[in-house]
Structure 1
Amino acid sequence: MRVFSSPADRRRALLALLAVLVGFAGLYVAVRQYLPFLTDARALRAWVAEFGYLAPLAFVIVQALQVVIAPIPGQAIALMGGYLFGPVAGTVYSLLGVLIGSAVAFLLAKRFGRPFVERVLRAEVVASFDGFVERVGVPGLFLFVVVPGLPDDVICFLSGLTTWRLRTFLPVMALGRLPSYALTVYAGDELASGRFGLAVSLLALVAVLSVAGYYNQDRIRAFVESIGD
C-alpha cells in the first residue's frame, strides 16, 4: 500500500478506486447474467461447504496476503466473505486473515529492519511516519486505524520498526479494523440474501467513510498526534 502525498497522486488513486468499484459492479452483472450459479448464494455456499476447512483456510490466506502485498482491497475480500460464509463466520475469517497479515508485516519489519521496509514502501513514506506509532500510543493508533481509507497496512510495517511488542500491536489492529470489516461482511451477507437495498446502503456508507478518511488523512493524523502529545 502506498501513501500519496500530492493532490495529483490522490486523484489518480481515487480514480483507480472508482475503476475497481465499477469493475466489481460490471463483474457482478456479468456473473449474474451468464453464471447464475455464482449468484445463487444458497447453492454457492453449499458448494463451498463441500471443501470443508480448505475453503475458509484459502479465504484467510488471501485476506492475509492482501495486507502484505496489497494487490486488491481488503474490503472487497471481506464482501466476498460475507457472501460465502455469512455475517459471523465471514467477519471471523476476514479479521483472522487481516490479523495474520498484519502480524507477518510487523514481524518482517521487526526482523529485517528499515532497509527491508524501504524496499516494500517508498522511502519518503517511511520517513513521513517516523516515530508516529510511538508518539500516538495505543489510543492514537486505534483512532487512526478505525477510520477506513487510511494507510493502515503501511502502519503494520512501520509498527515493526518500533519498540512495540506484537501482543500490544495486534489487539489494537483487531479492534480498530473490526467496525468497517464487519459492515462490509454484513453487506455481503445481505447481497446473498437478496436484500440489495440494505447491502448497497452499507457499501455506500463504507465507501463514503473511506473516501472521507483518505482525503482527510493529514488532518486525522494531526489530530491523532495532538492527542498523543
Structure 2
Amino acid sequence: MLRNIKDQIIKYKGYIILIIVLLFLIISGYEYYYKYSYILKDPEKLKTFIMSYGKYSILVFFIIQVIQVVAFFIPGEIVQIAGGYIFGAGIGGIISLGGITGGSILVYLIANEFGKPFVEKIVSEKKINFLEKILKAGSKRFVIFLLYLIPGLPKDIFGYICGVSDISLKDFAIYSTLGRIPGIFVSAYFGSKMFTQNMEQLIFIAVIMSILFIIGVLKGDNIIRKIINSHKKAK
C-alpha cells in the first residue's frame, strides 16, 4: 500500500509540484489583497510586523522578499523601501538583494521545470513575445542586465520567462542581480531617511525615482531596443 502511494507520488511529482505552485500563487494573492496589502503598502506597519518576530526579524524579511518575487503581483519597491526603514540602507539593501536574488532563482527554476505551457498560464503572451524578441536582439547577458536595471519594467515576471529561454541559470542570476543593485539600494536609502529632517533630499530622490519609474513603464521597451541597437553598431 505505502509502496503504491510512493510510486504514484514519484510518477506524478511534476503535476503535484505544479499544483502546489499554483495554489501558492492563488493563496498569496488572496492573503495579499484581502489581509496584508495594507501592511505591505505602509513601511511603518510593515516594520511593526517584522520587528514583532524579534531575533527572527531578518529571516522573516528575507522570506517576504523571496515571496514577493515569486508572487510577482506584490509591489517589490515598497518592501525594498521598508527594508531600509527597518534595518538601515546598508543592511536593508543587502537583505533585500539576497531575498530578491533567491526569489529570482526560485522563479527561474520553477519555470524551467514546468516549461512554457506553465508560464503562459501566468504571464501574458505579449510579455513573453517581447522578451523573446529582445533576447534575440543582442547579447543575452547585456539584455538581462538592462531589463533589471531600468525602473518600471515587470522584473519579477521576466524571471519566469527567462526560465523557459536558453539563458543559463548562472547568467540569469548574475546579470539580473547586477541590474537590480542600483534600484534596491536607492530604495533602501530612501527608506532609511524617511523620517529624518532632510525633506528636500527625500523629495528630490522621490521625484527622480518616480520620473525614472514612469519613463520605464511608458518607454522601457523602446529604450532597451535603442540601447541594444547602439551596442550592436558599436561592435
TM-score, length-scaled by structure 2? 0.72
Contact residue 149 and residue 210 of structure 1 kept, 8 A: yes
C-alpha distance in structure 2 between counterparts of 1:106 and 1:50, whole Å:
30
Say whether residues 1:183 and 2:186 are aligned partners: yes
CA deviation vs aligned residue, 1:32-81 (integer Å, no higher than 9, x gap): xxxxxx7xx9xx7xx939711x1111111111222221233211001100
TM superposition shift of 1:92 = 0.5
Paired residues in the alignment total 193
Q: How does 1:72-87 map onto structure 2 within 5 Å?
A: 72-87=74-89
- Structure 1 or 2, whichever has the larger Rg, is 2
Shift of 1:216: 0.6
Pair 194,64 (structure 1): closer, same or farther in 2 beyond 3 Å = farther
Contact 2:72 2:157 in 1 (8 A): no
Change over 3 Å in CA distance of 1:70–1:173 after alignment to 2? same
- Number of the residue aligned with 1:203: 206
Displacement over 6 Å in runs of 4+: none
What are the ranges of 5 or more consecutive residues in structure 2 without an aligned counterpart?
Answer: 1-36
**Paired residues for 1:111-190 under 5 Å:** 111-136=113-138, 137-190=140-193
Separation in 2, partners of 1:66, 1:199: 25
Identify the structure with bigger relative contact order (alpha carbons < 8 Å, sequence gap 6+): 1
1:59 — aligned with what?
Answer: 61
Show the counterpart of 1:99: 101
CA separation of 1:134 and 1:205: change in aligned 2, threshold 3 A:
same
Q: Which runs of 5+ in 1 are unaligned?
A: 1-19, 32-37
Give secondary structure in 2 for the equivalent of 1:164. coil
TM-superposed CA distance for 1:198, in Å, is 2.0
* RMSD of aligned alpha carbons: 2.8
Mapped contact 1:144–1:220 kept (Cα < 8 A) = no
Assess if the C-alpha contact under 8 Å between 2:132 and 2:165 holds in 1: no
Asked if 2 retains the 8 angstrom alpha-carbon contact of 1:133 and 1:159, the reply is: no
Alignment partners' CA distance in 2, 1:228 and 1:59: 41
Call closer, same or farther: CA 1:58–1:127 in 2, change over 3 Å.
Answer: same
Identity across matched positions, percent: 26
